[in-house]
């Protein structure tokens, strides 16, 4: 949620997409039906009254955030904010490298000096990402990354792209955390820090640099976000928000995530912290042999660029 001048920038960016060659009139995609069109207001009313939506509606009614919003008690962090986005021509394959969000972020962000905290539900670093993150560690920069555990992800093939690079990241000194399935149902929902999840699957996409700057947006650290999807986000100069992300990695994330590590023989194991105690897993927690075998087979396929 944003207020202030950045709203005008966001509106202009949406208009740019709306007017681009990547946008098509609805009539060219969806055939006209004989029935009268259903207005969004009526559709929303029907959905909110359905049994399937009752739990969601109840959660909204009981949400502290929603109550603070309605009561005008939300506190905002006033910060210099810059909108970055892909050129909509990317959707047609016509955008140059300089028009891509990932290139603009690289131009706007200095090399970190002390710490990188990254959250990405679909994290597929590729060899380029492995070289980047482990190179930062070799320079003395702490790198901490949170993504979904296999048991929690809703796109299993993406996990294969992450799993094939996991050992190299750990060997290079990167600290990894994998969000557990059902962590919110164990009393941790109020402790989840700034990374809410849906259906106990992580969805937040953000990173913080040196406890000073934060990026929040739609961009995942995967080839699809870099090359195929059109993405956008805010680059925020805010030590307060950056500190909140850092604090989450100190306490909240370890309480809700597995931590993969390497043993003395270089084999991966996972630690789970519950009520001050540690539990060790020697294979992907919460998954069966067939699912793990499927991930292993997928990791052999040349599909990383699609993930």
Which residue from 50, 41, 217, 223 is spatially nearest to 127, judged by alpha carbons?
223
47 and 156 fall within a common domain: no
Mean pLDDT of the chain: 86
Q: What is the pLDDT of residues 110-132, one digit of tens each?
A: 788 999 999 999 999 999 999 99
Instruction: Assess whether pLDDT exceeds 50 at residue 43.
Output: yes
Instruction: Assess whether pLDDT exceeds 90 at residue 267.
Output: yes
Position 235 in a domain: yes
The span from the CA of 205 to the CA of 215, in Å, is 8
Q: Domain of residue 275: give its range.
A: 77-306
Q: Is 241 exposed, middle or buried (0-12, 13-18, 19+ CB in 10 A)?
A: buried
Number of domains in the chain: 2
Position 282 in a domain: yes
Tokens linked to 203: 């969805």
63 and 147 fall within a common domain: no
Q: What is the pLDDT of residues 173-219, one digit of tens each?
A: 999 999 998 755 554 444 444 455 444 568 889 999 999 999 999 99
56 and 188 fall within a common domain: no
Q: What is the pLDDT of residues 54-93, one digit of tens each?
A: 888 788 889 998 999 999 998 889 999 999 999 999 989 9
Tokens linked to 235: 């680059």
60 and 93 fall within a common domain: no
Handedness of CA 111, 117, 123, 125 (dihedral sign): positive
**End residue of a domain, out of 75, 101, 121:** 75
Question: Could you give the C-alpha distances from 265 to 85, 139, 171, 258, 261, in angstroms and in order?
Answer: 44, 25, 12, 20, 11
Backbone angles phi, psi at 228, to 5 degrees: -110, -55
Instruction: Assess whether pLDDT exceeds 60 at residue 250.
Output: yes
Considering the chain, what percentage of its residues have pLDDT values greater than 90?
52
pTM of the model: 0.84
Q: What is the pLDDT of residues 279-296, one digit of tens each?
A: 999 988 888 777 778 777
More confident residue, 263 or 200: 263
Q: Which residues contact 126 (CB under 8 A, 6 or more apart)?
A: 161, 165, 223, 304
Q: What is the pLDDT of residues 132-184, one digit of tens each?
A: 999 999 999 999 999 999 988 888 888 888 999 999 999 999 999 999 987 55
The span from the CA of 165 to the CA of 152, in Å, is 18
Position 194 in a domain: yes
Half-sphere exposure of 73 (CA within 13 A, CB side): 7
Position 113 in a domain: yes
* CATH number of the domain within which 267 lies: 3.30.870.10
Q: Which residues contact 260 (CB under 8 A, 6 or more apart)?
A: 166, 170, 176, 178, 268, 269, 270
């Amino acid at each position: 949620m944003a207020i202030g001048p950045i709203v005008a920038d966001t509106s202009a960016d949406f208009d740019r997409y709306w007017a681009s060659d990547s946008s098509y009139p609805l009539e060219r995609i969806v055939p006209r039906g004989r029935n009268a069109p259903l207005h969004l207001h009526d559709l929303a009313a029907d959905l909110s009254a359905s049994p399937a939506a009752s739990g969601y509606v109840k959660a909204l009614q009981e949400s502290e955030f929603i109550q603070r919003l309605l009561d005008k008690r939300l506190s905002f962090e006033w910060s210099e904010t810059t909108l970055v986005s892909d050129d909509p021509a990317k959707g047609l394959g016509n955008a140059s490298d300089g028009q891509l969000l990932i290139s603009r972020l690289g131009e706007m962000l200095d090399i970190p000096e002390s710490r990188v905290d990254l959250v990405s539900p679909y994290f597929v670093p590729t060899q380029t990402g492995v070289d980047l993150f482990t190179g930062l560690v070799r320079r003395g920069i702490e790198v901490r990354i949170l993504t979904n555990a296999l048991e929690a992800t809703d796109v299993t093939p993406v996990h294969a792209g992450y799993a094939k690079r996991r050992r190299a990241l750990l060997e290079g000194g990167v600290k990894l955390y994998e969000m557990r399935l059902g962590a919110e149902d164990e009393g941790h929902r109020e402790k989840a820090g700034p990374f809410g999840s849906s259906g106990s699957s992580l969805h937040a996409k953000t990173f913080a640099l040196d406890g000073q700057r934060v990026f929040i947006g739609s961009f995942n650290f995967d080839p699809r976000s870099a090359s195929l999807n059109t993405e956008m986000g805010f680059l925020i100069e805010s030590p307060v928000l950056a500190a909140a992300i850092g604090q989450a990695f100190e306490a909240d994330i370890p309480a809700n995530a597995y931590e993969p590590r390497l043993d003395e023989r270089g084999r991966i194991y996972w630690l789970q912290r519950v009520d001050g105690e540690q539990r060790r897993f020697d294979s992907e927690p919460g998954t069966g042999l067939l699912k793990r075998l499927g991930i292993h087979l997928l990791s052999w396929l040349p599909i990383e660029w699609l993930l």
